[in-house]
Amino acid sequence: MDRLNFHHLRYFAAVAREGSIARASRLLHVSQPSISTQLRLLERALGEQLLQKHGRGLVLTEMGRLVQGYAEQIFGLGRELVDAVRDRPAGQTLRIQVGIADVVPRALASALLAPLLQGPEPVRLLLRHDKAERLLAELAAHQLDLVVADASLRSFGRVAAFRHRLGRSAVGVFAPRRLAAPLRRRFPASLQGQGFVLPPDDSDLRRDFDTWCRERDLTVRIDAECEDWALAKTLAVAGGRLLLAPSVTADELRRVRDLVRLGDLDGVGLEYQAITVDRRVRHPAVARLLAAAQRSVFG
């Protein structure tokens, strides 16, 4: 073998991590036959079998595990090279690709990202908004530099990634301004019988809220269940309903949506985190985001 085709190696690394060609195909947005062809070419070039069938999936052979180890080192060095180039103090525009999980309120995402655009160095920000699981797949494929999510994401599956704490926010009850004054005066007793737009009953926040209400003998009316933060806010404003939201977004909700915080749920909070493929943050824009979150947003 005269030279190694790194394109083939990238496909192999994805299949090795995912355990099947089908999952790697979805991760890389490449057809399954194309990946199969690239794997055969890599095995032919190395003169070794790297993967073998096991049930409905694929497992690494002994040689495959050896090659996977080298592949991770090679791509790790590639990421370090990109980070080093990005970090040049030569007035070059920093490029950062951020995935925002759909469980993160837009107002909070805006507060977290604003310092990147307000810093002394020019930054080009590329944003993706999707389910956390899909964003993690793109992170594993190095299509994103980090993913912002909440602590309800407990597992990364097969993705090798690391959590970096952004901060914790209290959870507030918000109401359209026209309804807020009398409800705020007698909070939380004033919530009795009020109509809410709430997260689905399988979410951590919903379970915490239900427990909070039971402990205070409160019965609220559930008029809508919605997992999309943006739609929940629209429903609350249009229908005159109450809403749960992170208290760190109170200023934004009052200014943009005319939603006023009645009070916080004692003992209930939401943790937010940034997820990267590196334990140590090297990308200067990612480091800036983490520092600003801990200092300004959650500080």
Same domain, 68 and 97: no
Q: Is the pLDDT of residue 80 over 70?
A: no
Helices (H) and strands (E) in the chain, counts: 11, 10
Same domain, 264 and 208: yes
Kind of pairing between the strands at 146-150 and 162-176? unpaired
**Local structure of residue 189 (DSSP, 8 states):** G
Evaluate whether residue 116 is within a structural domain: yes
Q: What's the CATH number where 35 sits?
A: 1.10.10.10
Reported as a single tens digit per residue, the pLDDT across 114-145 is 888 887 777 889 999 998 888 998 888 888 99
Same domain, 32 and 49: yes
Peptide bond into 120 cis (omega under 30): no
Same domain, 241 and 185: yes
Q: So what's the pLDDT on residue 101?
A: 93
Evaluate whether residue 1 is within a structural domain: no
Cα separation, 139 vs 96, in Å, equals: 12
Same domain, 180 and 113: no
Q: So what's the pLDDT on residue 84?
A: 54
Q: Is the pLDDT of residue 211 over 70?
A: yes
Cite the beta strand spans of the chain per DSSP E: 51-54, 57-60, 94-101, 123-130, 146-150, 162-176, 195-198, 221-225, 242-246, 259-276
Kind of pairing between the strands at 242-246 and 195-198? parallel
Q: So what's the pLDDT on residue 285?
A: 83
Q: So what's the pLDDT on residue 219?
A: 97
Domain that holds residue 56: 6-85
270, 205 Cβ separation under 8 angstroms:
yes
Same domain, 246 and 221: yes
Same domain, 185 and 247: yes
In which band, very low, low, confident or very high, does the pLDDT at 207 lie, cut at 50, 70 and 90? very high
Q: So what's the pLDDT on residue 89?
A: 47
Residue type, 187: F
Q: Is the pLDDT of residue 299 over 70?
A: no
Rounded (10°) CA dihedral 262, 227, 131, 86: -20
Cα separation, 11 vs 284, in Å, equals: 28
Which residues touch 51 (CB under 8 Å, ≥6 apart)? 12, 15, 16, 39, 58, 59, 60, 61, 64
Q: So what's the pLDDT on residue 9?
A: 85
139, 224 Cβ separation under 8 angstroms:
no
Evaluate whether residue 34 is within a structural domain: yes
| Structure-model confidence comparison of residues 170 and 1, the more confident one | 170
